[in-house]
Chain A
Amino acid sequence: MIDPVEFSIMVVGCFLSMCMFSTLYGKSSPLYALAEESYIGFATGLTIVMNLMYIYNTGVVGIQGGDWILIFGFILGIATLLRINPKYSYLSRLPIAITLGAQLGLSLRTQIYTGFIDQIKASIIPLFEGSAKTLIYNWTTFICVIFMLSFFLYTIEIKGPIKLSAKIGEYLMYASFGAIFAQTFMGRLGLFVGSIQNFTVPPWKKPILIACMAIVLVALIALDKLNLLEKLTPEE
């Protein structure tokens, strides 16, 4: 026996998903708008709920536990919200300044390692030691990094050896773009496969999937033939 709640979750989810796929028809449609507004509305609601929970669990519970200094988080947070009112928006500047300063501190103190020093360290690799495979890997990486970086120098005249180096860098970059394109496609395909798989396991869902696909497709073509697609779609 199928649980009625689960059944309704499947039917609504599958129908709205197919509505969202209708954007691939190439014309704006009320079906897509329905799915889009549903997602925006419920997801915004969820974001608010989860943020309030975080504020409660970290802030309120922390203060109750004697960590009174966290009350500044609330004062600054509420002051930040004042930016929506032009009359009081100046009150939001101080909290924005304080949080921005802290965030910059957090990123500057670590990025210099993760994004710069460590990357240089990892690029310093032996070019004449190790197996043939290691050597091929090391040489390729070394050449790619050097030439690609030289493509990204902008405050010097590009001529002579730097011009050649930048040109090689650009070609190497296109070679890597092919590989990265394939990886990106793998990811997006995985998302698509996953989202359809959601509607095929367990097997009782399969007929519903096929029915939803058919209904949305027929509705889309019918609306198009009746010239109603544009008329029923909301303006931006």
Chain B
Amino acid sequence: MSALFEIPGVIEGRALGLLLVVAIFVIVYYYLKSGKIPYVRRVAGLDAIEEAVGRSAEMGKPVMSTIGIDGFNYWTLSALTILEHVSRDCVKKGVRILVPTGGGDSSYIVRPVAEEIVKDAYTIEGNPEDYRPEDLPFLSGQQYAYTGGVVGILQRAKPGACIMVGGHHSEAMNIAETAVLVGAITITSGTYVSNVAVLACASDYILIGEESPAAGAYLSKDPAQRASIRCQDIYKGISIALIIVGTVVLTLGSDFFIQLLSS
């Protein structure tokens, strides 16, 4: 397919890609510098999380909350924000919170941040002396050693709710199945499509794909997180518009948009 336009000096067929990357740079920069805090809607999953913590409080059972096994990426960041929300809610309602970490080579960088968040929750919402470091075990940097550890904790502690967000991979299924079997309300999120599909079947409530970063952004006061969701929406909007208009124009007999996208 021939290109619709070219930029002098830019390799043929790569102009649009360059423009789109530069544009996204500008948009992100704009939102970060302008100090505007964009609106983010509340996703239904957050109600499910609060309800699950509430039910655990009624039953006098602990809550397990995981943040994934990845290093710092945007799934992990949103998981940390959700953890902040969950841990404060738990401390307020007097529920013990279990936060196992580990599972990947870079997960140990995230661990101190998670620790800090839970400690802060006790300081802000309750008594800092109630904080128990043994409730935040680091279960090795190996994926399946971590999984075995989490499954063991689930079997022994029998929590009332298991909130599993962040970057989880194939181990998510083991954890979700065990959580359901021990009677926990299971709320999960998946980062890739086949994982989401199986977790949608296995758990009581699922945050589908980007719902968990959106939930994190909703809870967060950090303008950067909200700005990212805003930028993502702009690009998703562009893609929807291009697909619809492109299809209509193609149906009318012109391949203008295909040429544009090949530029």
Q: Which residues of A contact B (CB under 8 A)?
A: 23, 26-28, 32, 36, 39-40, 44, 108-109, 112-113, 116-117, 119-121, 123-129, 142, 145-146, 149-158, 170, 173-174, 176-178, 180-181, 183-184, 187, 236
Q: Are B239 and A149 in contact (CB under 8 A)?
A: yes
Residues 182-196 of chain B, each 1 if its beta carbon lies under 8 Å from chain A, else 0: 000000000001101
| B42 nearest CB across to chain A (Å) | 9
Of the candidates A27, A124, A151, A180, the one whose C-beta lies within 8 Å of that of B243 is A124
Where chain A touches its partner, the secondary structure class is helix
Contact with A along B239-263 (1 / 0, CB 8 A): 1101110110011000001100110
Interface bits B122-149 vs A (CB < 8 Å: 1, else 0):
0000000000000001011010110011
A236/B247 contact (C-beta < 8 A), A121-B262, A152-B236, A153-B237 known: no
A117 lies within 8 A of B41 (CB): no
Contacts across chains A and B counted by CB atoms under 8 Å: 131
Q: Main SS of chain B's interface residues?
A: helix
The residues of B that contact A174 with a CB separation of less than 8 Å are: 200
24 CB-based A-B contacts, threshold 8 Å = A28-B148, A40-B142, A40-B144, A124-B246, A124-B250, A124-B257, A124-B261, A125-B250, A142-B243, A149-B239, A152-B236, A153-B233, A153-B236, A153-B237, A154-B214, A155-B39, A155-B229, A155-B230, A156-B233, A158-B41, A177-B196, A177-B197, A183-B194, A187-B194
Beta-carbon contacts of B144-173 to A below 8 Å, as 1s and 0s?
A: 110011011101000000000000000000
> A176's closest neighbor in chain B, by CB?
B197
- What residues of B have a CB within 8 angstroms of the CB of A27 in the complex? 155
Q: Are B261 and A120 in contact (CB under 8 A)?
A: yes
A-B CB proximity, top 10 nearest: A180-B197, A124-B246, A236-B149, A177-B197, A154-B214, A121-B261, A123-B243, A155-B233, A184-B194, A112-B17
